[in-house]
Amino acid sequence: MAFYIKKNCPYCDDEGNLFVWRCGDGKSLAFSCDECSALWASIENIEIGSELKEVDLINNFMPSVNVPIYGPSAGWATMQDMINQGISDEVAGEGDWVETRK
């Protein structure tokens, strides 16, 4: 199970839920659409054109923030992760990535 936020993916006609991923550094969060897999590094900038376009898939680093996507501390974000980042009030629900719909 994973948490998704109140905002929806701007590319998927507001159909795609944005699930919260904890990156490999154990503290950075990323937001991934369960429909199109677009990825954002900031909850404040979830809009068309601001998604991460040049993710280094070989080394699994998010561009500009230089944070590993995967690693020992990576996984679906917990409520405590979101509390730590000050975004717990943005949580809309919890479900399975790809299968959850509003």
Q: What tens-digit pLDDT sequence spans the chain (102 residues)?
A: 899 999 999 999 768 999 999 998 999 999 999 888 888 888 998 998 888 776 665 567 776 677 888 888 999 999 999 999 999 999 999 887 654 444
Q: Which two tokens stand for residue 85?
A: 């980042």
pLDDT given at position 102 = 43
pLDDT given at position 98 = 59
Q: Where are the domains of the chain?
A: 2-95
- pTM value is 0.84
